[in-house]
Amino acid sequence: MDNKTPRKNKLYKSFGYAFEGIFNTIFYERNMQIHSLVTVLVVIFGIILKISLIEWFICMLLFAIVLSLELVNTAIEAVVDLVTEEKKPLAKKAKDAAAGAVLISAIFAAIMGGIIFFPKLWAFLF
């Protein structure tokens, strides 16, 4: 066995843990399910409305930001819940700030999506 095998196993395991975290969050967190559904719908509409390559890049970046922040929000909520079951002001502050980060990204993603999609949808319908 060479020196690279243990390292490769660790890397393989770390990817496995990351995918496990993503899929657990998708399966068990309502907000992640909503964000994932919206992502799928945007992809479908993007194909139907033939958005440009640059518009695809923008959408992909927005997907990454919103979904990643939702994963971080879920992690923060889990850690806070692990540390304390009591209602504490700092626990609430941490959870609210993480949720706020997701909300801000989702609002701006929706605005940017509207800028990309509404003119194309209008042209498609009329």
* C-alpha torsion 75→76→81→82, nearest 10: 70
Q: What string of H, E and C letters represents the secondary structure of 70-86?
A: HHHHHHHHHHHHHHCCC
- Active-site residue, selected from the candidate residues 20, 29, 55, 70: 70
Active site residue 55: no
Residue 107 tokens, joined? 């609002």
Compute the distance between CA of residue 103 and CA of residue 29 in angstroms, rounded to an integer: 15
Task: Give the active site residues.
Answer: 70
